[in-house]
């Protein structure tokens, strides 16, 4: 590993892989860094298991010029010998970005001079920096959400994809996310049982999808096929239902739900109890914005794109010169958009470097695909949104930040005292300052703030983050 590279890509998910492939073959030194043990990010993790080489997507993937589905992306991935000039470092975390694109990276033991079980720190200079750090799941807190057995939809997926372990023999699925059906199919494939899928949306809201069928028939069809396949296998669906409590002494044993009216408010007297040994629940995604914020990139707030997103121009350059962003961090829209943006960002960097990148019409085609992908995603993101009334209704004794053990009551108290900006509320409560550094609670705290104060995102302000943005052993800083 060197100390300086022409291009550093943070994240080797769909966007990072697509970018690296496009940049390869132009005589550049490229470093790809990812904290996961292998490439692939959230959706390709089990397909990219150990390889000495690299990965690329079949060029036919983009030939149609239409929206690209996750399934097609997965099918078109293939192993290739590592292209000349590309270095991949896994299990390495970027902890901070400093002026002039200097990265502070925690690298694993084998890359440290001498030996250190805790790994060590490296400073790396990036000529150009491409951030492709993806997204995380959002959730709506309820009583008992910290009980063992309660997990996010993605966590249940990762358990099966990475280790082949089912969340439990019977899993109850809840929330609002498009991941609900994907997870249910994965559980059935692994010979588990799905107790039921409880969707907070009413069917009528989903009819908004119909006008989108014209341009996104394939994607919508894929979703419809998943539903049909679950119905054939007699999986129970309930619409307009929210989890209000997970019960159990040492682990979840029962889940309480309430029916919702058309506005998403709980209807009194409608509670039902499900017996459950695992509950997987999620409410869509939020971009991972810690590193772009550290790098000084401007953000925009757009609920239909997942909340705070990195502001980019048509070339995917951020407000900071030579820092680019691609994939979920510029707005939640799924793997297809990440694929297209990874390529577009790489083409823009090549152009800046004066490298030949082929005809303009190729980039124009990618831009059209990016737009199409965004249109469909904006509807899905709307389906995932939780109404302000749901945050207002959270009981005082519900934990919001599990690391620092901050309850909803404490947050209400501090807001009433006048701590009504994102920064001041974080300092007043310590919410988000714990071990996970706000990974779970930071988007929730922001939504609570909006709901309880009625302010706009511009009034509350965007979140700030300091290095190190990820956990790292102190010993790693001491290693020479
Ligand atoms: C838990 C989860 C499950 C999902 N499952 C699906 C699914 O089944 N189907 C689907 O269509 N979509 C799914 N999605 C949506 C998914 O975000 C996109 O489909 C797609 O993976 C986005 O690609 P990406 O390259 O933008 O980001 P990702 O695939 O998320 O890749 C980002 C990469 O950046 C790395 N990274 C982030 N920060 C750092 C850092 N500081 N240092 C080093 N590395 C870092 C991460 O380890 C990750 O590998 C899921 C999302 C989540 C959060």
d(C-alpha 186, C-alpha 160), whole Å: 8
* pLDDT exceeds 70 at position 351: yes
**What's the rounded mean pLDDT across residues 209-215?**
65
d(C-alpha 312, C-alpha 321), whole Å: 11
CA atoms within 13 A on the CB side of 8: 27
List, for residues 120-166, the tens digit of each pLDDT value.
999 999 999 999 999 999 999 999 999 999 999 999 998 998 888 99
Ligand 1 pocket check for 186: Cβ under 6 Å: no
Ligand 1 pocket check for 285: Cβ under 6 Å: yes
List, for residues 67-101, the tens digit of each pLDDT value.
788 888 988 998 889 899 999 999 999 999 999 99
Q: Which of 13, 77, 468 to mutate to test the pocket of ligand 1 (most atoms within 8 A of CB)?
A: 13
Q: Which of 9, 105, 133, 219 to mutate to test the pocket of ligand 1 (most atoms within 8 A of CB)?
A: 133
Ligand 1 center from residue 338 Cα (angstroms): 9
For the chain, give the mean pLDDT.
Answer: 91
Ligand 1 pocket check for 36: Cβ under 6 Å: yes
Ligand 1 pocket check for 153: Cβ under 6 Å: no
- What was the pLDDT predicted at 40? 84
Ligand 1 center from residue 155 Cα (angstroms): 12
Measured by CA distance, the residue closest to atom 7 of ligand 1 is 43
* pLDDT exceeds 80 at position 209: no
* pLDDT exceeds 90 at position 204: no
- Residue 417, number of CB atoms within 10 A of its CB: 11
* pLDDT exceeds 70 at position 398: yes
- What was the pLDDT predicted at 214? 64
Ligand 1 pocket check for 317: Cβ under 6 Å: no
* pLDDT exceeds 70 at position 287: yes
- What was the pLDDT predicted at 223? 77
Minimum mean pLDDT among 125-129, 157-161, 189-193, 343-347: which range?
A: 157-161
List, for residues 219-241, the tens digit of each pLDDT value.
667 777 888 899 999 999 999 99
Residue closest to 134 by CA, chosen among 349, 331, 372: 331
**Which pLDDT band, with edges at 50, 70 and 90, does 365 fall under?**
confident
Contact present, 136 and 284 (Cβ < 8 Å): no
Ligand 1 center from residue 43 Cα (angstroms): 7
Contact present, 135 and 11 (Cβ < 8 Å): no
* pLDDT exceeds 80 at position 216: no
Measured by CA distance, the residue closest to atom 20 of ligand 1 is 335
- What was the pLDDT predicted at 86? 95
Contact present, 303 and 332 (Cβ < 8 Å): no
* pLDDT exceeds 80 at position 218: no
Ligand 1 center from residue 371 Cα (angstroms): 20
Here the tokens at position 141 are 């807190």
**What's the rounded mean pLDDT across residues 104-131?**
89
* pLDDT exceeds 70 at position 14: yes
* pLDDT exceeds 90 at position 110: no
Give the Å distances, CA to CA, from 477 to 90, 344, 468: 19, 36, 11
Q: Which of 41, 71, 94 to mutate to test the pocket of ligand 1 (most atoms within 8 A of CB)?
A: 41
List, for residues 404-425, the tens digit of each pLDDT value.
999 999 999 999 999 999 999 9
C-alpha R_g of the chain: 22
- What was the pLDDT predicted at 232? 93
Contact present, 298 and 191 (Cβ < 8 Å): no
Can you give the pTM of this predicted structure? 0.94
């Amino acid at each position: 590993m060197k100390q300086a590279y022409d291009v550093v890509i943070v994240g080797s998910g769909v966007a990072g892989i697509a970018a690296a492939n496009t940049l390869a073959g132009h005589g550049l030194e490229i470093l790809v860094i990812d904290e996961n043990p292998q490439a692939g990010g959230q959706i390709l993790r089990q397909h990219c298991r150990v390889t000495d080489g690299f990965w690329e997507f079949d060029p036919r993937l983009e030939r149609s010029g239409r929206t690209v589905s996750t399934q097609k992306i997965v099918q078109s991935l293939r192993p290739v010998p590592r292209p000349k000039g590309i270095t991949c470092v896994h299990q390495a975390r970027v902890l901070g970005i400093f002026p002039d694109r200097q990265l502070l990276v925690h690298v694993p033991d084998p890359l440290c001079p001498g030996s250190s079980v805790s790994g060590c720190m490296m400073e790396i200079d990036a000529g150009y920096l491409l951030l492709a750090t993806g997204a995380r799941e959002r959730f709506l807190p309820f009583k008992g959400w910290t009980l063992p057995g309660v997990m996010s939809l993605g966590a249940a997926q990762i358990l099966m994809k990475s280790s082949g372990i089912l969340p439990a023999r019977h899993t109850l699925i809840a929330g609002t996310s498009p991941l609900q059906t994907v997870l249910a199919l994965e559980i059935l494939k692994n010979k588990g049982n799905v107790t039921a899928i409880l969707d907070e949306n009413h069917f009528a809201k989903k009819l908004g999808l119909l006008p989108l069928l014209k341009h996104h028939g394939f994607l919508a069809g894929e979703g419809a096929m998943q539903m049909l396949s679950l119905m054939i296998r007699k999986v129970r669906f309930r619409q307009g239902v929210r989890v209000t409590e997970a019960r159990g002494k040492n682990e979840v044993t029962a889940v309480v739900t309430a029916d919702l009216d058309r506005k998403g408010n709980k209807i009194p007297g409608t509670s039902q109890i499900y017996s459950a040994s695992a509950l997987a629940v999620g409410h869509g995604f939020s971009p991972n914005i810690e590193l772009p914020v550290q790098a000084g990139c401007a953000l925009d707030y757009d609920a239909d794109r997942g909340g705070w997103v990195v502001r980019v121009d048509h070339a995917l350059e951020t407000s900071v010169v030579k820092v680019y962003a691609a994939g979920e961090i510029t707005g939640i829209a799924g793997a297809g958009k990440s694929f297209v943006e990874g390529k577009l960002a790489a083409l823009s960097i090549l152009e800046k470097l004066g490298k030949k990148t082929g005809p303009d019409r190729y980039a124009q085609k990618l831009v059209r695909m990016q737009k199409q992908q965004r249109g469909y995603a904006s509807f899905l993101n709307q389906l995932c949104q939780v109404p302000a009334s749901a945050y207002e209704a959270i009981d005082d004794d519900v934990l919001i930040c599990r690391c620092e053990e901050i309850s909803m009551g404490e947050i209400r108290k501090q807001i009433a005292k006048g701590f009504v900006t994102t920064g001041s509320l974080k300092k007043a409560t310590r919410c988000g300052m714990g071990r996970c550094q706000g990974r779970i609670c930071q988007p929730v705290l922001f939504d609570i703030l909006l709901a309880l104060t009625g302010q706009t995102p511009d009034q509350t302000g965007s979140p700030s983050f300091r290095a190190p943005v990820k956990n790292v052993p102190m010993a790693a800083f001491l290693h020479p």
